[in-house]
Structure 1
Amino acid sequence: MPRTPQFLRRTALPVHACLALTALIALTGCSDASPAKSSAAAGSTESAATTGTPAPGPGTASASTSTSGSSSAKSASPPVHVSIPSLGINSAVMRLGLNPDRSVEVPPADKGMTVGWYTGGSVPGQPGPAVLIGHNDTRYGRAVFHDLKKIAKGADIAVRDDRGTEIHFEVTGRETASKKAFPTSRVYGRTEARALRLITCDGSFDAAGHPVDNLIVYATRK
C-alpha cells in the first residue's frame, strides 16, 4: 500500500516540512477532521506525524488494483497543463509516482510552481478520482497552490492533455482536513464519477514545523 509524502512548509523553513499532499486511491498519511468520516476509514489511517494522507480503508481501491485509476492511465492521454482562471494559476503538470518506501512522490522544492499528477490514480477526465498535488509554499517562497484556499464553488479548472484536448472541471466543494483525521473514503474512494482532487497543505504548524492540515478541493468534470 503506497504511503503519502511529507509536505514542505508553507514558509521559508527547512525542506522537510510541507509538501502539497495528495488525495488519491493509494496514499497514506493525511487525515480529515470531518465528523462524517467512517470508523473503518479512521481505523485504516496511519500515524501522520510527518506524512500526508492515510491508507485507503475497506471499500477503497489501491493504486495497484484500481480499475478506474491506474488502468485508465494506460489508455487515456496524460495531463500536461492545468489552469484555474479565477486564481490566475497556470502550470505545467509533471508526473509523480512512488518512492522506494511506497510513499507518493511530490514535486521537488525547486519546482514549487509546478503541479504534479499522481500516475497511480485516474487520468483527469476518466472515471475515478484523479489527483493533482501542488505546494503551498516552499523554502524558495510562494508556490503554485498558495491561493488555493480562495477557490470558490463553481470555479472552473481546465486540464489539457498531451493531445491538446482541454477538459473542464467544476469545483463542487473544499475542506480543510486534519492529518490525524483524513477523509479517506471521500478522497480515495472508488467512484464512477470523473472526479478531480487538488491537494496542498494548510493550517497551523506543529512543534516540528509541519502543517497540521491539508486543503482538499473537489471537482467534477463538466
Structure 2
Amino acid sequence: MQRLAIAVVAALALLGACAAPLAADPQTAPPTGSTAQTSGSAAQPAAGWYELARTPGEAGPAILLGHVDGLNKPGIFFRLKELVAGDEIEVPRKDGTTARFRVRKTEQIAKSGFPTEAVYGDTAEPELRLITCGGSFDRAAHSYRDNVIVYATLV
C-alpha cells in the first residue's frame, strides 16, 4: 500500500491550460468551458484546492489539482497515476488536523470526455478528487491530452 501526503496551497485560479473543466456550481452545473489551473510552477511542492468545492473532510467532494510535470521536472502529482484502490492519502486541514482518505479508483480519461458529474457531483460522505494531466503530450497545444483522476473516500 502506498501513502501520499499532500501539501495544499491557496485556492485555484480560473482559466488555465492543464487540469479540468470547471462547473459554475460544482453541485449541478455542466462545464462552462473554463478550466481550473494549479498555482505556481511544477517545482512548487503543493497542490491547489478548487475553492468552489468542499474542503477536504467535509461532506461532498473536495477537489485538488496539481502539476504532473513542468520545467523538465516532475510535479507534485507526477506519480498520481500509480495510486490504486486501497492506497491512502493524507491532506492537512487549516485547523491543524489531517484528513485521511482511501483510494477507491484511479482513471485516465481524455479531456474531451471529462466526467464532470463524477468529479463535481454532490456526495453524502466526504470524498476527495485528485486531478492532474496525463497521457500523451500535444506539443501544438502545449498540453497533455488526458486527465488522471483519483477518487477517494474519507477513512
Confirm or deny a common fold (TM above 0.5).
Answer: yes
Match of 2:90 in 1: 158
Q: Secondary structure at the match of 1:171?
A: strand
Mapped to 2, the partners of 1:53 and 1:139 lie a distance apart of 24
Aligned: 1:203 with 2:121: no
Q: Paired residue for 2:58, among 123, 126, 130? A: 126
Q: Secondary structure at the match of 1:104?
A: strand
CA drift of 1:162 comes to 2.2
- Tell whether 2:138 aligns with 1:217: no
Q: For the residues of structure 2 that align with 1:137 and 1:190, how far apart are their CA atoms?
A: 30
Give the aligned partner of residue 124 of structure 2: 192
Structure that is richer in helix per residue: 1
Q: Deviations over 1:114-167 (max 9, x none)?
A: 111112110101011101111010115111110111112111111121222112
Number of residues paired by the alignment? 139
Write the mapping of 1:28-39 to structure 2, written as runs, cut at 5 A: none
* Aligned positions of 1:51-200 closer than 5 A: 52-53=20-21, 55=23, 60-61=27-28, 103-109=35-41, 111-200=43-132
Shift of 1:190: 1.5
In 1, distance between residues paired with 2:154 and 2:15?
25
Alpha-carbon RMSD across the aligned residues, in angstroms, is 2.6
Letter in 2 for 1:149: K
Q: CA 1:4–1:129 in 2, change beyond 3 Å: closer, same or farther?
A: farther
How high is the sequence identity, in percent, across the aligned residues?
36
Tell me the distance in 1 between the aligned counterparts of 2:34 and 2:113: 21
| Bigger Rg over Cα | 1
Structure 1 unpaired stretches of 5+ = 8-20, 22-51, 63-100
Cα separation, 2, equivalents of 1:60 and 1:4: 20
Whether the 8 Å contact between 2:90 and 2:100 is mirrored in structure 1 is: yes
Q: 1:6 aligns with which of 13, 17, 21?
A: 17
Distance 1:134 1:207, change over 3 A: closer
Q: TM-score, normalised by structure 2?
A: 0.78
| Structure 2 spans left out of the alignment, 5+ residues | 1-12
Q: Secondary structure of 1:180's partner?
A: helix
Q: Which has the higher strand share?
A: 2
Name the CA shift for 1:131/1:61 in 2 (closer, same or farther; >3 Å): same
The answer as to whether partners of 1:56 and 1:185 remain within 8 angstroms in 2 is no
- 8 Å CA contact 1:109, 1:140 repeated in 2: no
Taking the aligned partners of 1:154 and 1:193, their CA distance within structure 2 comes to: 17
Shift of 1:215: 0.1
Q: What TM-score, normalized by structure 1, do the two folds share? A: 0.56
Q: Label 1:4 to 1:220 Cα distance change in 2 as closer, same or farther (>3 A).
A: farther
